[in-house]
Structure 1
Amino acid sequence: MVNRLTPREAMYYFLDEGSSTVHVGALIIVDPTADGAEPGLDYQSLVSLIEGRIQLAPRYRQLVKPVVLGLARPVWVDDPDFDINFHVRRAGLPRPGATEQLQDLVGRILSRPLDPQRPLWEMYLIEGLADGAMAILTKTHRCVLGPDSPELSGLLLDAEPEFGEPAEDIWLPTRAPSQAQLAVDAIAEGLARPGELVESIVGNGPVGGLRDLVTSTASRATEAISQVTNSAPPSRLNQATTSTRSFAVASIPVAEAARVAEQYRCGQRDVELAVVTGVLRRWMLSFTDTLGAGATVRVVLPIGSRPADDEADSGTGRPRDGWFGEDGPGFVTDLPVGEANPTVVLAQVAGLATRNAQSASRQTTRVSPLLPDLGVVPFGDAAARFFTSWNRHTYNLPIAVVATPIGQRWVRGVPVRELFGIPALLANRALAIAVMTYADHIEFAYLGDRGVMSDLPALVDYTHDAFDEITDAEGGR
Structure 2
Amino acid sequence: MLQPPCRSGRATPSGAVSMLLAGVPRPRPGVLRTTAAAPGTTIGSMHLPGRSDDAERLSTLDAAFLEMEDAVPGAHMHLGAVLLLGPVPGRGGPPRVEELRELLAARLPDLPRFDQRLSSPRADGLRRPHWVVDHFFRIDHHVRRAALPDPGGQAELEAWCGEFFSQPLDRAHPLWEAVLVERLPAGRSALAVKIHHCLADGMGSIALADLVADRAPGAAFRRPPAAGPAEGAHRRPTATVALAEDAARLALHPDRALAAARGVAEMLRDGLLGPTETAISGPVGRQRSFTTIDVPLGELREIERQLGGTVNDAVLAIVGGGLRRLLRHRGDALPEEGICAMVPVDVRGPAAGSAGNRISSLFVPLPVAVDGPEARHAAIRAATATRKRGGQSSGVGALVALSGLAPPVLHQALVRLAITPRLFRLTVTNVRGPRARMTVLGAPVRAVQPFVPLGPDHRVGVALITYAGRATFGIVADADAIPDVDVLAAGMQAEHVALRRAARRVSRASRAAARRRRSRRGDRAAPPAAPAARR
Q: TM-score category by the smaller chain?
A: 0.7 to 0.9
Residue 348 of structure 1 pairs with residue 403 of structure 2 = no
TM-score, length-scaled by structure 2: 0.70
Distance in 1 between the 2:104 and 2:483 partners? 35
Residue 327 of structure 1: aligned partner = 358
Q: CA 1:121–1:163 in structure 2 vs 1: closer, same or farther (change >3 Å)? A: farther
Aligned length: 430
Q: CA 1:104–1:438 in structure 2 vs 1: closer, same or farther (change >3 Å)? A: same
Residue 133 of structure 1: aligned partner = 188
Instruction: Give, as a single letter, the amino acid of the residue that structure 1 aligns with 2:148.
Output: L
Q: 1:8 aligns with which of 58, 61, 72?
A: 61
1:93 CA displacement: 0.7
1:301 CA displacement: 0.9
The question of whether the paired residues in 1 share the 8 Å contact of 2:421 and 2:458 is answered with: yes
Instruction: Give, as a single letter, the amino acid of the residue that structure 2 aligns with 1:258.
Output: R
Residue 302 of structure 1 pairs with residue 344 of structure 2 = yes
Q: CA 1:128–1:194 in structure 2 vs 1: closer, same or farther (change >3 Å)? A: closer
Q: CA 1:340–1:41 in structure 2 vs 1: closer, same or farther (change >3 Å)? A: same
The question of whether the paired residues in 2 share the 8 Å contact of 1:420 and 1:445 is answered with: yes
Distance in 2 between the 1:68 and 1:347 partners? 43
1:285 CA displacement: 0.9
The question of whether the paired residues in 1 share the 8 Å contact of 2:285 and 2:478 is answered with: yes
Residue 399 of structure 1 pairs with residue 451 of structure 2 = no
Residue 454 of structure 2: aligned partner = 425
Q: 1:24 aligns with which of 79, 84, 103?
A: 79
The question of whether the paired residues in 1 share the 8 Å contact of 2:261 and 2:398 is answered with: no
Distance in 2 between the 1:152 and 1:396 partners? 28
1:243 CA displacement: 1.3
Residue 65 of structure 1: aligned partner = 119
The question of whether the paired residues in 1 share the 8 Å contact of 2:340 and 2:424 is answered with: yes
Per-residue CA distance 1:414-443 (angstroms, 9 max, x = gap): 321111222121111111111122212211
Instruction: Give, as a single letter, the amino acid of the residue that structure 1 aligns with 2:501.
Output: D
Q: Which runs of 5+ in 1 are unaligned?
A: 168-180, 200-217, 315-319
Residue 238 of structure 1 pairs with residue 277 of structure 2 = no
Instruction: Give, as a single letter, the amino acid of the residue that structure 1 aligns with 2:379.
Output: Q
After superposition, where does 1:409-424 map in structure 2 within 5 Å? 409-424=438-453
Per-residue CA distance 1:330-383 (angstroms, 9 max, x = gap): 2111111112311212222235444421213x4445589725555124366743
Q: 1:195 aligns with which of 247, 264, 283?
A: 247
The question of whether the paired residues in 1 share the 8 Å contact of 2:300 and 2:314 is answered with: yes
- Secondary structure of the 1:238 match is coil
1:223 CA displacement: 3.4
Distance in 1 between the 2:341 and 2:55 partners? 39
Identity %: 23
1:253 CA displacement: 1.4
More deviation, 407-416/435-444: 407-416
Residue 44 of structure 1: aligned partner = 98
Q: CA 1:224–1:274 in structure 2 vs 1: closer, same or farther (change >3 Å)? A: closer
The question of whether the paired residues in 2 share the 8 Å contact of 1:330 and 1:363 is answered with: yes
Instruction: Give, as a single letter, the amino acid of the residue that structure 2 aligns with 1:299.
Output: A
Q: CA 1:339–1:61 in structure 2 vs 1: closer, same or farther (change >3 Å)? A: same
More deviation, 392-401/380-389: 380-389
Instruction: Give, as a single letter, the amino acid of the residue that structure 1 aligns with 2:387.
Output: N
Distance in 1 between the 2:207 and 2:105 partners? 11
Per-residue CA distance 1:36-58 (angstroms, 9 max, x = gap): 99987221111111222221124
Larger Rg: 2
Q: CA 1:384–1:424 in structure 2 vs 1: closer, same or farther (change >3 Å)? A: farther
Q: Which has the higher contact order (CA 8 A, sep 6+)?
A: 1
Distance in 1 between the 2:117 and 2:434 partners? 33
Distance in 2 between the 1:43 and 1:358 partners? 49
Instruction: Give, as a single letter, the amino acid of the residue that structure 1 aligns with 2:463.
Output: A
The question of whether the paired residues in 2 share the 8 Å contact of 1:57 and 1:148 is answered with: no
Residue 441 of structure 1: aligned partner = 470
Residue 100 of structure 1 pairs with residue 155 of structure 2 = yes
The question of whether the paired residues in 2 share the 8 Å contact of 1:163 and 1:412 is answered with: no
Per-residue CA distance 1:164-184 (angstroms, 9 max, x = gap): 7979xxxxxxxxxxxxx96x7
Q: 2:294 aligns with which of 236, 242, 251?
A: 251
The question of whether the paired residues in 1 share the 8 Å contact of 2:317 and 2:377 is answered with: yes
Distance in 2 between the 1:374 and 1:68 partners? 14
Per-residue CA distance 1:236-294 (angstroms, 9 max, x = gap): 222133111111111111223333333324432222222111111111111017647x3
Residue 3 of structure 2: aligned partner = none
The question of whether the paired residues in 2 share the 8 Å contact of 1:157 and 1:410 is answered with: no
Q: Which runs of 5+ in 2 are unaligned?
A: 1-53, 223-234, 252-259, 507-535
